[in-house]
């Protein structure tokens, strides 16, 4: 049964791969044998070094996912080196806080441009190649904030909700090409994005009180889900949004 999760020689692009969930996901996929293309506006050398330390193969491409031209160049560089793209993990994202009535249009646009439009650009450009191959996996990182309103950051919730419907629509359109498109909706994971929140005793206590498992998650706890959706073990899964939140959204 181990071969169901084998990703040997699969070509994977992970966006937002310099740190946080993206870094852990990239290293985890490399451990399963994938050739991982690291994409970020930030330096990915730490992630690349971790992959090289486990004798994995990797390529770093600096990319602003909100810029369609840069996304196109990322895809071209991947194809120039590897000739195909098997998996896209659409992970790049940002979070900005603020009351809805005070939120600036500039900040609204920056969140939507990266979290939603950026995922569309990446899926679109990678999807063109996957259609030619008649095969591929796209995994869009959404959030439980896309399932329920997250007070204090209206564009984040709006963008993550949009990702879920983007996922379903692409799954509907591209199923005929044997392209599986799924979303993952994490709860609270200990990353750079949540660092300030997790320093708040009140926030951590809220998690203990409302998450059935009584804790927040470590980034490594998402890797198995990504491997599953990347591998042939999920061949008949598409258009799905998989919630990884310790049971938070399951409780009243």
What amino acid positions are annotated as catalytic residues?
156
Give per-residue burial for 154-171: e unless 16+ CB within 10 Å, then b. Answer: bbbbbbbbbbbebbbebb
What Cα–Cα distance (Å) separates residue 140 from each residue in 39, 73, 179, 238? 15, 20, 13, 12
> SS3 of 63, please?
coil
| Cβ contacts of 64-67, under 8 Å, gap ≥ 24 | 65/15, 65/16, 65/39, 65/92, 65/114, 65/118, 65/119, 65/121, 65/122, 66/110, 66/113, 66/114, 66/117, 66/118, 66/121, 67/121
Nearest CA to 234 among 136, 150, 153, 92? 136
Edge-to-edge strand order for the sheet containing 35-40?
A: 58-62, 35-40, 11-15, 87-90, 136-141, 179-186, 241-244
Q: Are 86 and 12 in contact (CB under 8 A)?
A: yes
Nearest CA to 245 among 169, 158, 146? 146
For residue 205, give every residue at least 6 positions away whose Cβ sits within 8 Å of its Cβ, in sequence order, or none.
Answer: none
């Amino acid at each position: 049964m181990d071969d169901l999760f084998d990703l040997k020689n699969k070509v994977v692009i992970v966006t937002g791969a310099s740190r946080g969930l993206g870094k852990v996901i990239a290293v985890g996929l490399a451990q399963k044998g994938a050739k991982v293309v690291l994409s970020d506006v930030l330096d990915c050398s730490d992630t690349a070094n971790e992959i090289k330390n486990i004798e994995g193969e990797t390529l770093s491409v600096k990319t602003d996912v909100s810029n369609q031209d840069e996304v196109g160049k990322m895809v071209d560089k991947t194809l120039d080196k590897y000739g195909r793209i098997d998996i896209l993990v659409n992970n790049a994202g940002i979070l900005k806080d603020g009351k809805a009535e005070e939120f600036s249009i500039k900040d609204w646009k920056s969140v939507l441009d990266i979290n939603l439009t950026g995922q569309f650009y990446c899926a679109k450009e990678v999807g063109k190649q996957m259609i030619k191959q008649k095969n591929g996996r796209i995994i869009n990182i959404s959030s439980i904030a896309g399932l329920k309103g997250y007070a204090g950051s209206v564009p984040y919730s709006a963008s993550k909700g949009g990702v879920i419907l983007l996922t379903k629509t692409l799954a509907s359109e591209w199923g005929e090409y044997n392209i599986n498109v799924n979303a993952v909706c994490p709860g609270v994971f200990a990353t750079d994005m949540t660092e300030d929140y997790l320093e708040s005793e009140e926030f951590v206590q809220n998690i203990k009180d409302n998450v059935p498992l009584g804790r927040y998650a470590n980034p490594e706890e998402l890797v198995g889900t990504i491997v599953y959706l990347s591998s042939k073990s999920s061949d008949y899964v598409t258009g799905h949004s998989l919630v990884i939140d310790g049971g938070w959204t399951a409780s009243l």
